[in-house]
Chains A and B, each alone.
Chain A
Amino acid sequence: MSEPLTGQVNSGDIFIWASYIISAVTLGGLALWTAGKLTGAKKRLNMLNSHETEKTSED
């Protein structure tokens, strides 16, 4: 039996949940990836800086 055509949307909870979950995962993933990139870049530069300082003091 088909539902009467009222022009109103009466379902869609799964789509609402899916929208919020997918968006949270995408933004969270991007935030983690960016934070990892920033930490890695900072660490690499600090290592080079300390290596350079050691070398200068040895010279």
Chain B
Amino acid sequence: MFSTFANPHRFLALSKWLMPLFAVLGAIIVATGWAWAFFFVPEELYQGATAKIMYIHVPAAMVSLAAYASMAVCSLLFLTLKHSIADVAAKSAAPVAAALSFICLVTGSLWGRPTWGTYWVWDARLTSMLFQLFLILGYMALRSAFQREQDAARAGAILCLVGAVNLPIIKFSVEWWNTLHQPAGFITLGGSSYAPEFYWPLWYNLIGIGLVFGALMMAAMRAEIFNRQYEAKLARMNRSAA
């Protein structure tokens, strides 16, 4: 099935209409979702109005983890099946994953100051999330250090797969260690601990950020495919001219 969708021409045809659809829907949902959270969601009993930050923080955290996971899966597919579109997908997801990790860390820090009394503590959840941001930035820097795209793809894929060990650490850090960061409550095996007036706006914002991630990733993939087509065509023309 992957091979069917791994064709760049098929991807370009599909993303031509899927990307603007995701972009428009994502922008509308995020704009209305933030307005919903900012103006209409009631204040939380203990956190007060600062709980409104969670409608950005939680979706950014969840989608950034999913983005890194998708980079790792694509890296594995590239290393095993040698599909160049898998490498294109991993490379294109990286800046979006980095931006979402950054948003997660900054909003978490801005929530922590009035709630915990500090912007930052070196607890397991915060530190592992910061490590993920550095890992993605390192992945992007490593790729750009290579001249040949094939070498960059291979080195990047290996780094990304090694870094995937951090994903369960981020997820389970609040259970494995005694952290200041609270344990998961939004989506758990035993059901959500959130009241419906907090639960549904959070889901709505999560879908919005997911769609924005999809649109940005598809746009970046299209740009990367066009760049590679350009390079390949230029090389072909130079060869035939020589």
Which A residues fall within an 8 A CB radius of B?
A: 7-13, 15-16, 18-20, 22-24, 26-27, 30-31, 33-35, 37-38, 40-42, 44-45, 48-49, 52
Contacts and interface: CB of A to CB of B under 8 A. Distances in A.
A14 to B, nearest CB: 9
Interface of B: 23, 30, 34, 38, 45-50, 52-53, 56-57, 60, 95-96, 99, 102-103, 106-107, 110-111, 113-115, 212, 216, 219-220, 222-224, 226-227, 229-230, 233-234, 237
A23 B48 contact: no
B103 A22 contact: yes
Contact of B223 (A23, A34, A48): A34
Contacts of A40: 223
Contacts of B220: 34, 37-38
A21 B57 CA distance: 13
A44 B220 CA distance: 15
A22 to B, nearest CB: 6
Contacts of A10: 48
13 contacts: A8-B46, A12-B50, A15-B50, A15-B113, A16-B110, A19-B53, A19-B56, A19-B107, A22-B110, A23-B60, A31-B212, A31-B216, A34-B220
Contacts of B30: 27
Contact of A16 (B53, B95, B96): B53
B230 A48 contact: yes
A40 to B, nearest CB: 8
Contact of B115 (A9, A20, A34, A35): A9
